[in-house]
Amino acid sequence: MSDLTPTQRTEILERHLRAHGHLDPDDVDAAIAAAESASGDDASPALGARVVARAWADPGFRARLVADPVTALSEYLALTVPIAVLADTPTLHHVIVCTLCSCYPSELLGEPPRWYKSFEYRSRVVREPRAVLAEFGMEIDPDVELRVHDSTAEQRYLVLPVRPRGTEGWDEERLAALVTRNCMIGTGRPLTP
């Protein structure tokens, strides 16, 4: 079977599952289409960005989000795994990884980018995070404490970045437009106004 392409192997697996009533092809097509056009209400970086923007704008929500994320996030989605929210400060920066596979806060950010799942990221970021972050164009000041979180259990992590300067008085929608996927992983910073 090593001669078959992944496309052929997927087709064969799908055909077997369909033949025994375990898979509805229309459901597969619809689910792919829905995931590809995920909006802010679905699991996608847009949902994570809304949560981060609200935490920036609403100190009460921020406190609840950091202290008890599962409850604080329950108005957005029902989480089936625990999640921890890692709040950055001007002197503390968090980065997340899963060295053993590719665990990722998919409930909030959708599917991970390919680099997150790569052998390069998984092997290197625990050993030399500053070098890895430099490849994303990020300089981390030597005075800033750097914490790398390996997602070795079912708990997922979301980085809550520092709110950019010059955004005083902005509403959540405007703030959310500054929140990038990578800044919620720790490999980027929010956009600046």
Q: Which residues between 79 and 108 bind other proteins (CB under 8 A)?
A: 79-84, 97, 99-102
**99 or 167, CB closer to other proteins?**
99
How far apart are the C-alpha atoms of 193 and 182, rounded to whole Å? 17
Determine which one of 102, 106, 123, 151 is catalytic.
102
The one segment of 45-53, 54-62, 152-160, 166-174 that binds other proteins by CB under 8 A: 152-160
Q: Torsions phi, psi of 167, nearest 5?
A: -115, 20
The one segment of 22-30, 54-62, 158-166, 172-180 that binds other proteins by CB under 8 A: 22-30
**69 or 161, CB closer to other proteins?**
69
How far apart are the C-alpha atoms of 7 and 20, rounded to whole Å? 20
Contacts 24+ apart (CB under 8 A), 52-55: 52/160, 52/161, 52/175, 52/176, 52/179, 52/183, 52/184, 53/172, 53/173, 53/175, 53/176, 53/178, 53/179, 54/172, 55/85, 55/160
Of residues 28-57, which lie at the interface with other proteins (CB under 8 A)?
Answer: 28, 31-32, 35-36
27 belongs to the binding site for other proteins (CB under 8 A): yes
66 belongs to the binding site for other proteins (CB under 8 A): no
**15 or 174, CB closer to other proteins?**
15
Residue 98 annotated in active site:
yes
Residue 186 Ramachandran class (φ > 0 left, ψ -120 to 50 alpha, else beta) = left
128 belongs to the binding site for other proteins (CB under 8 A): yes
